[in-house]
Amino acid sequence: MGILLATVHIFSAVTGGTGAPVAILDTDIGDDIDDTWALAFLLGSPQLDLRLVITASDDTPTKTRLLAKILDKIGRTDIPIGAGVKNTDRPIHQAKWLADYDLKMYPGKVHEDGVGAMIDLIMKAERPVTLIVIGPQTNLREALRREPRIAEKARVVSMAGSVEIGYGGKQGRQPEYNVYRDIEAARAVFAAPWDITFAPLDTCGTIILKGERFARVRDSKDPRAQTVIANYRAWTNFDKYPEGESSVLFDTEAVYLAMDQSFCEMKTVKLTIDDKGNTVPDENGRPVKCALGWKDKDAFEELLVKALE
């Protein structure tokens, strides 16, 4: 199935053929740099109708300032943003680029209560909402606590878990950060009756742009690409990666799966979450659609680059 036909098929399933799926991005931007790449990918993908971005985990007010500056630089201040649940004061890793940007400088809508904004958008949306979750699922747990009915009006597409393969393509599952960082939140999301799709380490753990593809993003004049590269260079872990390539872009796969799945081998797996944060196959577990392999990773990488350049 070609990407256009596959995408139209998914649109019809999600929206009843009435337009692009309404999307909310829940991101722990400011930790790993892949969230910044994923946000730029989403902004370059008209297949999704992005209505709200909220920050997740740790110092969410500071992360919201970072999010605001990124959207300001890219020229997308039309997108409302909000701060999610703050649970630590842990510093962000893009502070050098953020500098002294003041949230008052952001001309768009800022929600102090991002979780409340998420609930409100889902409950009032004219068509089902796609929740793209690329951080620990703390905000979703709080949203479900306040309004359990959101699970009847949304689906979740999350970068989470490890079914058969761990970090760096290593055989055998491992506890994955977005799950083990808040195990009870991940369990709460599993307990809700919405459709869940995972971009697990099995496929997202080896996404790295190299050579000509990385160079196209690095050398692009598009504000999405320029903002990503500026943040990548200012990221505290930048010097740990080889020159001329990206770090692992885990979260970009969740954005992709929210709009199309034809490049991946999808399988519904019943999973439970153990006390270490492993997502373990279990015949009595929760059914989750998982991308367990690639049909065309090359085509995915090309789609990602084209959305940024």
| Average of per-residue pLDDT values in the chain | 94
Q: What is the pLDDT of residues 17-53, one digit of tens each?
A: 447 899 999 999 999 999 999 999 999 999 999 999 9
Here the CATH number for the domain that contains residue 41 is 3.90.245.10
When pLDDT is cut at 50, 70 and 90, the band that residue 126 belongs to is confident
| pLDDT (average), residues 273-289 | 98
Domain residues for the domain of 116 are: 3-162+170-308
pLDDT tens-place string over residues 202-218: 999 999 999 999 999 99
Quickly state the pLDDT bin for 2 (edges 50, 70, 90). very low
**Band (127; pLDDT cuts 50, 70, 90):** confident
Higher pLDDT, 237 or 4: 237
Is the pLDDT score of 226 beyond 60?
Answer: yes
Q: Is the pLDDT of residue 12 over 80?
A: no
How many domains is the chain partitioned into structurally?
A: 1
Stretch 269-288: mean pLDDT, rounded? 98
Region 53-70 average pLDDT = 98
Check whether 7 has a pLDDT greater than 90. no
5 pLDDT more than 60 = no
- Is residue 304 predicted with pLDDT exceeding 70? yes
Residue 304 to residues 8, 108, 174, Cα–Cα distance (Å)? 19, 26, 26
Q: CB within 8 A of 169, min separation 6: which ones? A: 205, 206
* The pLDDT of residue 247: 98
**In the predicted structure, residue 11 carries a pLDDT above the cut 70:** no
> Residue 13 — pLDDT band, cuts 50, 70, 90?
very low
53-67 average pLDDT score: 98
By percentage, how much of the chain surpasses pLDDT 90? Answer: 93
Q: What is the mean pLDDT of residues 146-158?
A: 98
Quote the pLDDT of residue 6: 35
Answer for the pair 279, 173: CB distance below 8 angstroms, yes or no.
yes
pTM comes to: 0.93
